[in-house]
Amino acid sequence: MDRLKGKVALITGAGSGFGREAALLFAHEGASVAIADLDEAGGSDTASRIASHGGRAIFIRTDLGHPEQVKAMVEETTATFGRLDILYNNAGVAMEQTPIAEITEHQYAHIMDVNLKGVLFGCKYGVPAIEKTTGGAGGSIINTASMAALRGRPNISIYCASKGAVVALTKSLAVELAPHRIRVNAICPVAADTPMLPKFLPRGAAVSIDAMKKAAVAQIPMGRLGRALDTAQLALFLASDESEFLTGLALPVDGGYSA
């Protein structure tokens, strides 16, 4: 229960899904957790769950498309807990399946704002905070990418591009920040049974979410969808000192999908 004892983690998109599961697990392992999300009810609920088990957590309402809010998110975390050791840029948005000829500029802007811009500015403001408050001891940055960054998927081209950019950003920052002992890694989940999955259905689709899940499972050798805990457990390892010599990786959590 002490793998993150004394550390402070900031997790975006922690009001549900992957982020919530990671926040609960990190707190169980001794971390103080700042929960950032646009969803006030979900984010507050995650913080309350941690507090009810004796952990330390705060909720910070944040729209990652606005860099000034990302800056304030980091500042509130360090003002409350005195330091920042782990930045988990997890928040993301899905994309309704859309053929390339029907894509709109609004879709592009919205997806890139959260999936890429939010990660980039999270790192911009998070890195100096980690350097300042850890006194050179380093820390860990974890970015949520996707198997869609590593394997092409039809009709979600902007989403694939945004997550591919996250992988490239992760690798670049891993090299840049290695002298500062800050590790930067990406997690690439396969289709997972979270609240985001139905948002990948095309608008007005005749296909049901159950049919979508069945089709996804058929492509995964281990015969099930991903679970939020699968991703949270890998994030815990990357956040802990156990991964101190790992950086620049894009790690699939995919039940053999990429094998």
User: Within a domain: residue 42?
Assistant: yes
Q: CA–CA distance from 120 to each of 60, 67, 102, 144, 174 (Å)?
A: 18, 9, 27, 12, 13
Q: Is residue 236 part of a domain?
A: yes
Tokens of 32: 């103080």
Q: How far apart are CA 153 and CA 114, in angstroms?
A: 20
Q: Is 159 a catalytic residue?
A: yes
**Residue 32 pairs with which residues in a beta bridge?**
8
Looking at residue 254, what is its pLDDT? 95
| Residue 1 resides in a domain | no
**Catalytic member of 88, 125, 159, 257:** 159
Q: How many domains does the chain have?
A: 1
Q: What is the pLDDT of residue 114?
A: 95
Is there a domain that residue 213 lies in? yes
Determine, yes or no, domain membership for 2.
no
Distance CA 153, CA 258 (A): 13
- Are the C-beta atoms of 3 and 29 separated by less than 8 Å? yes
Taking Cα atoms as reference points, which of 235, 153, 228 lies closest to residue 194? 228
Give strand pairing partners of 60: 36
Give the pTM: 0.95
CATH (domain of 134): 3.40.50.720
* In a domain? residue 258: no
Q: Is 89 contained in some domain?
A: yes
Amino acid at 154: P
Give the per-residue pLDDT at 205.
61
Domain extent for 227 = 8-253
Position 206 scores a pLDDT of: 63
The whole-number pLDDT of residue 208 equals: 81
Q: Does 86 reside within a domain?
A: yes
Quote the pLDDT of residue 195. Answer: 85
Per-residue pLDDT of the chain (259 residues; tens, 9 = 90+): 799 999 999 999 999 999 999 999 999 999 999 999 999 999 999 999 999 999 999 999 999 999 999 999 999 999 999 999 999 999 999 999 999 999 999 999 999 999 999 999 999 999 999 999 988 899 999 999 999 999 999 999 999 999 999 999 999 999 999 999 999 999 999 998 888 888 887 776 666 888 889 988 999 999 999 999 999 999 999 999 999 999 999 999 999 999 9
